[in-house]
Each structure stands twice: as C-alpha cells, then as structure tokens.
Chain A
Amino acid sequence: MRNFSSLIDGLVFMPARNGKIRLLADFFATTPDPDRGWALAALTESLVFHEAKPAAIRQLVATRVDPDLFALSYDYVGDLAETVALIWPERPERANSLPPSMTEVVETLRAAKRGQVMGLVEGWLDTLDSSGRFALLKLITGSLRVGVSARLAKTALAEWGKVDLGDLEECWHGLSPPYADLFAWLEGKSDRPAAGKGAGFRPLMLSHPLEEEDMAALDPAAYSVEWKWDGIRVQLAARGGERRIYSRTGDDVSGAFPDIADHMTFDAVLDGELLVARDEGQIAPFNDLQQRLNRKTVTAAMLKEFPAWVRLYDILFDGEEDLRGLPLTERRARLERWHDAVRPRRMDLSPLVPFEGWEALKGLREGSRENSIEGLMLKRKDSVYVAGRPKGPWFKWKRGALTLDTVLMYAQRGHGKRSSYYSDFTFGVWRGEELVPVGKAYFGFTDAELVELDRWVRNRTTRRYGPVREVEPGLVLEVAFDSVHPSNRHKSGLAMRFPRVHRIRWDKPAAEADRLETLQAMVVG
C-alpha cells in the first residue's frame, strides 16, 4: 500500500494537471504488477466494494477511541476517512507486522464473505501508517476524490509508455484489472492488446475557431454547415449490449443520464450534443443543462424537470462497421438512414443549414441569437473522422460576444502559478446606488495586465475575507460573454455564459459602468 498511499497523498495536494501526470507516471514506473494495475482500477473507478459503509467505519473506530475525543476530532477535521486515519491508535506491538500490499487488500476483499470485511479492515488499519489508513479507507468506501479522472490516468499511462492516447483508448475497453497486458505493451514487452469490442471511448474529432480573414481562402461549396449547439459534446457508445455516454474528454457520464442511456437499445457509436429539451426537441437554456452536470447520479425530480436530449451530428460505428474512414457526406447519409430505421427516443438530427456563400452565412450567424445556439459549425464535406484537432477540416464560428461595462468588486488569489496573484475577479453592475455582483472572470487579460490588476487590487483593498479581497468600486472591466440567463443562484438573478475580461477600462469612471437593467434586456428566451 505504501506506493499507493504516497501517490494518493501527492495527488490530493497537486493542483496542476501536468504535475498529476508526473506523479502518476512515477507511480506506474516504480510499482510492480499487479499492484499498479489494481491502483489503476481504483483510480478509474473500476473497483467497487460493497461492505464498507461509513456507518460501519464509525462503529469500528468507536471500539478503539473515546467517543468524546472522536467527536471533537471529527468536528475539527471534517472528513470521516481522514479523521479515522489520523486518530486510529497505533499499537507498538503491531509495528513490525508487514502492512498489506495493494493486491492483498483487493484480492482478500473480493474473496471476503459478508460480515468478514470490517474485521479485515481493522487488522489492516493496525499495520498501516496514517497515509496508508487514509488510502485504504478511501479505497474501500469507493471514492478517492483525488482530482484524477479516468481520462487523466490514461493520459499519464500514454505519456509514460510513449504511446498514442487514441491507441490506448481503442484497446482500453477490452482490458480488465489488473491490466497486465496493458502494462506489458506500455513497457515495450508486447504488442498492443486487441481493440475492445465493447462500448469503449473513441477519441473525438475537434474543430478550430474560424478567423474571419481565413474565410476568403475557403471554398463555400466544399463545406457543409450546421448550427453550433450550446450543450455539451457527447459520444454515445452502444456496443455488444453495453451502453456508455462519454464526455468530450472520455469520462463516462452514463450514470448521470439514464434518460438517454435507457434508450440506447441500438448497436452504434454516435457523436452529438447533449442538451435539455422539453416537449420533444424544445431546447432549454444552458443553465437548465447545468443542473444535470457534474453529478454521479440523478433524482427522479431532476429527470422530470430537466429532461436530457441528444442532437446527433455524426456516426462512427454502425454495428460492427467502422465508418470513420468515410467522408462526411457519406457518414451523414448513413446517419440519416440509421436514424430513420432506428428512431431512437429523445434524440434527433442536427439539421444542415443551407447557405449561399460566406456573406449570407455571416448574416445567419449574427441572427442566431436564440436559446441553445452558439454559432455555426463548418465541416469539409470530404473530411474523414480523425481523432484530435486537425487544422482545416472542421471550424467553429461562434457568434459575436455580448459586452458589458462592469465594476470590479472582489478579487481572489489564483491557483498554481497564479497563487501569488489576485487573478479571479468578481464584478458587478449598478442597481440604483448599489453594486450587485453579476459574474466572475479569471481570463481574458495578458500576464502584463495581470501584474497591473494585482497591484491595483492590493492598493485598493477595503476588506479581506481569507483569500478574497474586497476592493473600492473604482475599476471598470469591460466583460465579454456569450449569453445571459435567469438564475436563482445569483443575487442579481442573472448568470452569464463564458464571461471573460475583454478590456480593462483604466480610463472609465466606475459611475459610468452599466446598470442591471441593461444586462436584463440581454436575456434571451
């Protein structure tokens, strides 16, 4: 457990993605099979133990620790696994017994009968140090919460093994813990394991933003155009009886969207946009979709209030047949035919947008300010479906942003490289004589501007709340955002989509910043 527990400790404190990748790579390089494979399974949430519930762990610790002292400690620490890991009384006479390996823990627990589990856990807690106890308790209660998604773990494996991440994703689904064949391949000792036949993630094809000066060089006849939907990109994979919904980064989000997964009774891999839609295809604002995101499970009430919908725009597999090598127009024809034949519930096709040349398209784009449309997608008709972000075949062309003059109200320290800078800015607009916060932005400025903003914040601080400083209302930030929606989470009753600092108006007096009514008038739908 020692390697695994130091990895968990390192990951808990590591804010940077690249740093996490380094820690994971170091772990995979220095930990033997099958320990590293079981650890990988834990990180990718492919391991579940049913017996170790928090209540059982509380009961166990009550047999060892004075209940008043435990209560005071739990109050102070706030996390059950951590409190137990720290407070567990070490027995000097057990200090010489060997702590269990990762493999021993996993295999013993898997073979354990009901009622044996807590006894085993108790024995292990006696031989582990506090980091080991923390790792063990996190492992058996099922959620490590160390900021590592399955996708990040795979990225680290690919970097460490110097293989293509797409290649790894292709075979991932055919693998099972403790992944001996995978590690053999990554260490160059064998060929890549065979591609999985199941519902594995196929890396997505992504687009580049369109620069208007590039347009002249593009031939309108070579492109087909669709609306760019304001939802989240998903891949629906239904293969061999398995059904999975993946986010654009390959994280499995099926559990949060049973209203889609339940209808995936077909055999295909599809690309589309996840939205919330009521009454068969009436798309709700992004804000509604947000209620469904970042959840592991979903309540019946949410399913009813915010029903999910998928708008399809591509097909990667039809049954066993890999369509990714076909040009877009042929894939589109296959998608339409497939949709006609299968008629999947809670899904429709993203329509093609007919247009006459680039000028006409510009007009369409600016007019597209309704709910759920962010702009346009331009895709070359002859483009094959390739992983990643090749330059040329696909472009996204977002409609122009809305802007608003706001007043800086609070600043908060950033993270990682920005931890010495006040780099997260909360801004507001006037409602009568008072400022009400309307959003938060932490990008859109250059490094040089950040230095100036940081200095301004430090010199104009009126109050401090931990890492947050309240500043005098004296600096106007022109904020750009894609759209604004009603929201009951914010005091102002409004929430912006993608707010960013557009310009710092050092010249403009705060009194001349915009009023709340101006922002209210920008709400669509």
Chain B
Amino acid sequence: MQGMPAQSPSRPPAERWMKVCPEGLYVEPGGFYVDPLRPVERAVVTHGHSDHARPGHAHVLATAGTLAIMRQRLGEGAGAATQTLDYGEAIRIGDVTVRLVPAGHVLGSAQVVLEHAGTRVVVSGDYKRRFDRTCAPFEPVPCDVFITEATFGLPVFRHPPDLGEIDKLLHSLSIFPERSHVVGAYALGKCQRVISLLRAAGYDRPIYLHGALEPICKLYEGFGVPLGELRPATVAAKEELKGALVLAPPGAVADRWARRLTDPVVAMASGWMRVRQRARQRGVELPLVISDHADWDELTQTLDEVAAPEVWVTHGREEALVHHATQRGIRARALAMVGFEEEEGA
C-alpha cells in the first residue's frame, strides 16, 4: 500500500480524461485503452479471460502471465507488439504513469493503477480477495477513483469457505463411489484453482481433464503452480473414469462430450451456484460455490480499503453496489459497459 498522491486544487476530475467509448475504457492522456472490446492501437490488458483479452491490438501491455495466456489462446492475435510489465513496476505512457498490481483473479491478473495530474485511478479488472495458491493475492491501492466490477454485487452472494465446498465434492464421491464426478470449471483459473484446492484437501488420485483444459494447466505448471497427476479424459478411459474426478468446461458437462462418462454426478464450480434455482436450471446435481470474483462482502470491504471518494462500476449487478456506496457517502455511478460476459463459470 502506498500513500495518496498529493492533492492539487486544480486537478481535472477523472471523467475528463477517462472515457467510456465503444472500443472500451479510454485513457486519453496516455492514448490507450484498458481491456478494449475492439482492436485498438494501444491496449493495457488486466487478465487473460477472453472478454478482457481480445485479439488484434497493435500494441499490448500486460503481465508476463497474462501475455503467456494470450499467446497460447490467441496465437498471432495476442498483439503485433507485446510488452511485459511486472507487478509493482511503473512505466510512463504519454502523460500517465501506469503500474500493474495483483488482482487475485487468475494467474497474471492485474489491477491497472493510473496516475495523471495528481489524480490516481485504479481499474480493478476482475478480482477476488480470498487466498488462492494459483495466483498472487489482491493488493488494495488507495485511490481517488476506484473502477470496480460487480459480478456478484448483491448481498445474497457470499461465497462460503472453499475447502467446505471441496469437502462436499469429496463426500459425494464417498456416497457414489462408482459414479464419475464431472466438475464444470472455467478453463482459465477456475480449473486450476479447483485442482489446487483438491490437492490441498489431500486428494492425491489422478484428476482427469477435458481436452480444452489441458493447455492452460500446463501453462500454470510452467509458472510454478503444482497440480499433481493429470490425465486426459478420453473415450478410451471409460472404465478408468468410473468413480474418478473429471474436470470439463461448463458447457461440456451436460452435452455430448459427457456421454463418455458412466452415470456422472454433474457438479459446477461457480459463484452462481449459490442460488439454488440457478443451479437447478443448469441441471447441476452438486453445486460448488467456488468463485474467482469478489463476493458482496469482499466488494464492500474493498471499497472501504481503497477509500476512494468516487467509485465507478463497470459490469455486473451494479445497482445494489451503487446504492450501497451512495449510502456511505461515496459518489458512485454505473458505467453500464457492455461486452463483459456473465460467463457461467464465474
């Protein structure tokens, strides 16, 4: 944490130099966008999820982790020119000082700290606050304007302790030892986090993976995140998969891919699983409330910690968070940004 920048009576308000354009959030005095939705000349990317890291920018600045993820997923589309910025290191772009600070969301994820004319703005990207051994933990940065997500911006979203959710999964394996347990988990971040939690809970058997999950797991291991023994969940392994734990992207668990599994227990690891009706609609038998986003308490705690007099909400259930902030005397508004998916694995 660092102190507030010196107050300057004549500094321009942030909305004069930070604008919401069709391309995304534009930082005018630096001539770059944060997580632009369309191809642009200069982009700063917070993390590797596909709604934030889009292809086709001429120049991309991000952490080494995020750039590695982008190169793996987008190939040439990761950016004509890329530049790595380590956590904590400052760089000057145009008339703006830029720093990347851990956001605790997935490997390489960062908040973008922007300073211009004596005002500090923090773009949080997506973030979470709880311990996750697969990525660096969120660091609150005091600022004048905090730009936050609100994916789980309702007080009904309170993620329970992760290991309790993992216990539910292991308990189900003990009641239904002959059934495959297939866990729907987003390929980047959630999958590796669930594996890492299982290992922390002492589960040391091989874990089987849908093909779409393998490359990112390898990448994580390359960055020094141990995941234990992983095997491909191929059709040939049908016998082996009985009673095994299988991870697959959320869309695959109730579709044709899952037919290789014998009478599977369908689990889903997502913050949305907190609401029973939502889990039922998805045909989920074993909901696991494990999220890579801040829950309500963590969102409000973060507003307290960064102590920004002004908060902008990019996407999610912004109405409740704006209401909460306003009641605490914070100037709050919703940017109503489109293009950030409410992905089901959140």
With known contacts A13-B284, A13-B285, A22-B175, A130–B320 Cβ distance under 8 A: no
Q: Is B92 an interface residue (CB 8 A)?
A: no
Instruction: Tell whether, in the assembled complex, residue A417 and residue B156 are in contact, meaning their CB atoms are under 8 Å apart.
Output: no
Cα A65 to Cα B160 in complex, Å, equals: 19
Give the nearest-CB partner of A79 in chain B: B277
Contacts of A248 in B (CB 8 A): none
Cα A70 to Cα B259 in complex, Å, equals: 41
Give the nearest-CB partner of B278 in chain A: A77
Interface bracket on A? 20 to 34
Q: Which residues, 61 to 90 on A, are CB-close (under 8 Å) to B?
A: 65-66, 68-70, 72-73, 76-79, 82-83, 86-87, 89-90
With known contacts A13-B285, A22-B175, A76–B154 Cβ distance under 8 A: yes
CB distance from B329 to the nearest CB of A (A): 15
Instruction: Tell whether, in the assembled complex, residue B275 and residue A419 are in contact, meaning their CB atoms are under 8 Å apart.
Output: no
Cα A130 to Cα B175 in complex, Å, equals: 23
Partner pick for A415 among B156, B275, B283, B287, CB 8 A cutoff? B283
Cα A6 to Cα B263 in complex, Å, equals: 22
Best-surrounded residue of B156, B263, B287, B324 (most CB of chain A within 10 A): B156
Task: Tell me which of B31-39, B69-77, B250-258, B337-345 binds A.
Answer: B250-258
Q: Is A196 an interface residue (CB 8 A)?
A: no
Q: Per-residue CB proximity of A231-247 to B under 8 Å, as 1/0?
A: 00000000000000000
Cα A12 to Cα B324 in complex, Å, equals: 32
Q: Is A314 an interface residue (CB 8 A)?
A: no
Cα A415 to Cα B281 in complex, Å, equals: 11
CB distance from B328 to the nearest CB of A (A): 11
Contacts of A87 in B (CB 8 A): 155-156
Give the nearest-CB partner of B327 in chain A: A66
Contacts of B280 in A (CB 8 A): 12-13
Q: Per-residue CB proximity of B113-157 to A under 8 Å, as 1/0?
A: 000000000000000000000000000000000000000001111
Contacts of B175 in A (CB 8 A): 22-23, 26
Instruction: Tell whether, in the assembled complex, residue B320 and residue A420 are in contact, meaning their CB atoms are under 8 Å apart.
Output: no
Instruction: Tell whether, in the assembled complex, residue B285 and residue A86 are in contact, meaning their CB atoms are under 8 Å apart.
Output: no
Main DSSP-derived SS at the A contact region: helix
Contacts of A209 in B (CB 8 A): none
Cα A69 to Cα B325 in complex, Å, equals: 12
Contacts of B258 in A (CB 8 A): 419-420
Q: Per-residue CB proximity of A6-34 to B under 8 Å, as 1/0?
A: 10000011110001001100100000000
Q: Is A413 an interface residue (CB 8 A)?
A: yes
Instruction: Tell whether, in the assembled complex, residue B283 and residue A419 are in contact, meaning their CB atoms are under 8 Å apart.
Output: yes
Partner pick for B254 among A13, A22, A419, CB 8 A cutoff? A419
Q: Is A129 an interface residue (CB 8 A)?
A: yes
Instruction: Tell whether, in the assembled complex, residue A76 and residue B279 are in contact, meaning their CB atoms are under 8 Å apart.
Output: no
Cα A371 to Cα B279 in complex, Å, equals: 43
Cα A189 to Cα B171 in complex, Å, equals: 28
Give the nearest-CB partner of A454 in chain B: B256
Q: Is B317 an interface residue (CB 8 A)?
A: yes
Q: Is B276 an interface residue (CB 8 A)?
A: yes
Q: Per-residue CB proximity of A409-431 to B under 8 Å, as 1/0?
A: 00001010101100000000000
CB distance from A422 to the nearest CB of B (A): 11
With known contacts A66-B327, A420-B258, A82–B277 Cβ distance under 8 A: yes
Instruction: Tell whether, in the assembled complex, residue A78 and residue B277 are in contact, meaning their CB atoms are under 8 Å apart.
Output: yes
Cα A14 to Cα B179 in complex, Å, equals: 14
Partner pick for B323 among A69, A79, A420, CB 8 A cutoff? A69
Instruction: Tell whether, in the assembled complex, residue A77 and residue B286 are in contact, meaning their CB atoms are under 8 Å apart.
Output: no
Instruction: Tell whether, in the assembled complex, residue A13 and residue B154 are in contact, meaning their CB atoms are under 8 Å apart.
Output: no
Instruction: Tell whether, in the assembled complex, residue B154 and residue A15 are in contact, meaning their CB atoms are under 8 Å apart.
Output: no
Cα A420 to Cα B263 in complex, Å, equals: 12
Contacts of A129 in B (CB 8 A): 160
Q: Which residues, 165 to 193 on B, are CB-close (under 8 Å) to A?
A: 168, 171, 175-176
Cα A26 to Cα B157 in complex, Å, equals: 30
CB distance from A198 to the nearest CB of B (A): 35
Contacts of B158 in A (CB 8 A): 86, 90, 130
Contacts of A69 in B (CB 8 A): 154-155, 320, 323-324
Give the nearest-CB partner of B172 in chain A: A10
Contacts of A83 in B (CB 8 A): 156
CB distance from A265 to the nearest CB of B (A): 44
Give the nearest-CB partner of B179 in chain A: A19
Instruction: Tell whether, in the assembled complex, residue A77 and residue B254 are in contact, meaning their CB atoms are under 8 Å apart.
Output: no
Contacts of A86 in B (CB 8 A): 155-158, 274-275
With known contacts A417-B263, A419-B266, A15–B285 Cβ distance under 8 A: yes
Contacts of B274 in A (CB 8 A): 86
Contacts of A13 in B (CB 8 A): 276, 279-280, 284-287
CB distance from A280 to the nearest CB of B (A): 46
Instruction: Tell whether, in the assembled complex, residue B285 and residue A14 are in contact, meaning their CB atoms are under 8 Å apart.
Output: yes
Q: Per-residue CB proximity of A118-131 to B under 8 Å, as 1/0?
A: 00000000000110
Give the nearest-CB partner of B176 in chain A: A22
Q: Is B319 an interface residue (CB 8 A)?
A: yes
CB distance from A305 to the nearest CB of B (A): 33
Contacts of B259 in A (CB 8 A): 420
Cα A42 to Cα B157 in complex, Å, equals: 28
Partner pick for B156 among A15, A23, A77, A420, CB 8 A cutoff? A77
Contacts of A22 in B (CB 8 A): 175-176
Instruction: Tell whether, in the assembled complex, residue B266 and residue A12 are in contact, meaning their CB atoms are under 8 Å apart.
Output: no
Best-surrounded residue of A15, A72, A79 (most CB of chain B within 10 A): A72
Q: List 5 A-B contacts (CB under 8 A).
A: A13-B276, A86-B155, A86-B156, A90-B158, A413-B283
- 6 closest A-B pairs by beta carbon, nearest first, are A86-B156, A73-B156, A419-B254, A72-B320, A13-B285, A87-B155
Contacts A66-B323, A69-B323, A86-B274 given; 5 further ones with Cβ under 8 A?
A: A15-B283, A66-B324, A69-B324, A82-B276, A86-B155
